[in-house]
Structure 1
Amino acid sequence: MLPADAPESRPPARTVGVILASGLSRRLGQPKQLVLLAGQALIWHATRAMLEAAPSGGVLVVTPSGELGGRIRAALGELDVRFAENPQPELGISESFRVGIAALPTGTGAASFALGDMPLVSTQMQRAVLEAYETTRAPMVLARFGPQGVRAPPHLFRADLFGHFGQPGDHGPRHLIEQFRDRAVWVDLPASALRDLDTPEDARAMQAIFEHGF
């Protein structure tokens, strides 16, 4: 059960931006996080957008462990972010959520989760999610894209929901969203930002977008 939304029960204001970037890129055949777009790794673009949105608690990036994780961290070396290693990325994105939550600093009041393979989600879009939470302190702030209202990250969750991230699988917290969606705040984002990168065709299309402009 969620607590009442009275001011005295609200969590601290610190909000952390979390970039989930520990996927195994099985369909792409190479680490998607490191695909170059306009001279920078894909993960750099996604992380910079969140960083420039200025979440009050900073930015945490969830990477794989081992050599790939080291390469991802190196690609982000100039950015002021923290890292958490996911030693079991094969368990799916739900494990990345849990690793990210476990690594949040004490006093975190909310976390806004974004995907490392959606570099067209801009700073302004990330900021819109953060501002919706700052204004409402809602339990969840959920993004939906385009006229069809496709639900996809960035999604923000208040700290009193962190204990509900227990279900396994290669999917986000759908059970949690369904359970508490009547108390969610929605942010509408353009359909063009929904594009992600999973296949070689996706990579070529994304590289063309960054080469010729959005």
Structure 2
Amino acid sequence: MPTPPRQPVAGVLLAAGRSTRMGRPKQLEPLAGRPLVRHAAQALADGGHDALLCVIPPGTVGDGIRAALTGLPFTFVVNPDPARGLGSSFRAAVTALPGGLDGGLAAVNFALADMPLLGGAQHTALITAFHESGAPVVLARYAEPGVEPVRAPPHLFRADLLRAMQDTPDTDHGPRDLIRAHAAQAVTLTFPARLLLDVDTPDALAQAEALLAGHQNF
């Protein structure tokens, strides 16, 4: 009996942040010879998604992100008011998904533009865990021996949860309530703590540069 076709999983890169702690558009800051946003975008492109979407801010920063991702198969959607918080970017992404909420997607994997050490392997692991489990949510956490794990993106949501995501509040915590509501059925994958670095400040950018220059296996 032939194997039924796998339902598609979309990847969303949330790149409309205001960069208040960096003091300048962090998405476009150079890191290891490429704009910061390009690292996270490349990881999503390498992760095995069936469609890719990038949420960007309006104006020149958004234009710069489009240019930085030249050659990668992203569709772009503008969040007209990023100041309303990360929740507004989740809502913008859900509204613009290929085919809409009834477009045949099995799930959507959401990643942040300021986590440059994650690679395609981590996104592939989330997608694989979803297809094997059918869980409503597949979460990532970052841990090392003797240290309390930290939960952080990427997070994958089954398609039937996306309508509820339209009610995500205007905060910088994203769909936290949705994750909490389905925590008992969630699958959580553990990744090395060294991949957790998010580049919010000049010091964090320098740290990422040093790590990547060290040719560590990310």
Percent identity, aligned pairs only, is 43
Aligned amino acid, residue 126 of structure 1: H
Is the counterpart of residue 176 in structure 1 residue 178 in structure 2? Answer: yes
Question: Which position in structure 1 is the counterpart of 2:108?
Answer: 111
Question: Which position in structure 2 is the counterpart of 1:5?
Answer: none
Question: Which position in structure 2 is the counterpart of 1:122?
Answer: 119
Structure 2 CA distance for aligned equivalents of residues 195 and 188 of structure 1: 15
Question: Which position in structure 1 is the counterpart of 2:57?
Answer: 64
Question: Which position in structure 1 is the counterpart of 2:204?
Answer: 202
Aligned runs of 1:151-190 on 2, under 5 Å? 151-165=151-165, 166=167, 167-190=169-192
Provide Cα deviations, 1:178-214, integer angstroms capped at 9, x if missing partner.
1110011111111001001111111111112222222
Question: Which position in structure 1 is the counterpart of 2:3?
Answer: none
- Give TM-score scaled by structure 2 length: 0.89
Question: Which position in structure 2 is the counterpart of 1:6?
Answer: none
Aligned amino acid, residue 121 of structure 1: L
Contact 1:48 1:79 in 2 (8 A): yes
4+ runs of 1 displaced by more than 3 Å? none
Q: Pick from 30, 49, 52: which aligns with 2:46? A: 52
**Which region of structure 1 is more displaced relative to structure 2, 78-87 or 204-213?**
204-213
Residue 168 of structure 1 deviates from its aligned partner by 2.1
Question: Which position in structure 1 is the counterpart of 2:79?
Answer: 86
Aligned amino acid, residue 153 of structure 2: P
Q: What SS does structure 2 have at the residue aligned with 1:62?
A: strand
Structure 1: state its 5+ residue gaps.
Answer: 1-11
Structure 2 CA distance for aligned equivalents of residues 34 and 212 of structure 1: 22
Structure 1 CA distance for aligned equivalents of residues 52 and 114 of structure 2: 16
Provide Cα deviations, 1:104-146, integer angstroms capped at 9, x if missing partner.
0122221000000001111111110111111112110011111
Q: What SS does structure 1 have at the residue aligned with 2:109?
A: strand
- Give TM-score scaled by structure 1 length: 0.91
What is the Cα-based RMSD across aligned positions, in Å?
1.2
Structure 2 CA distance for aligned equivalents of residues 182 and 121 of structure 1: 26
Aligned amino acid, residue 171 of structure 1: H
Aligned amino acid, residue 142 of structure 2: F
Contact 1:46 1:117 in 2 (8 A): yes
Question: Which position in structure 2 is the counterpart of 1:21?
Answer: 15
Structure 1 CA distance for aligned equivalents of residues 72 and 208 of structure 2: 22
Aligned amino acid, residue 122 of structure 1: G
Residue 54 of structure 1 deviates from its aligned partner by 1.4
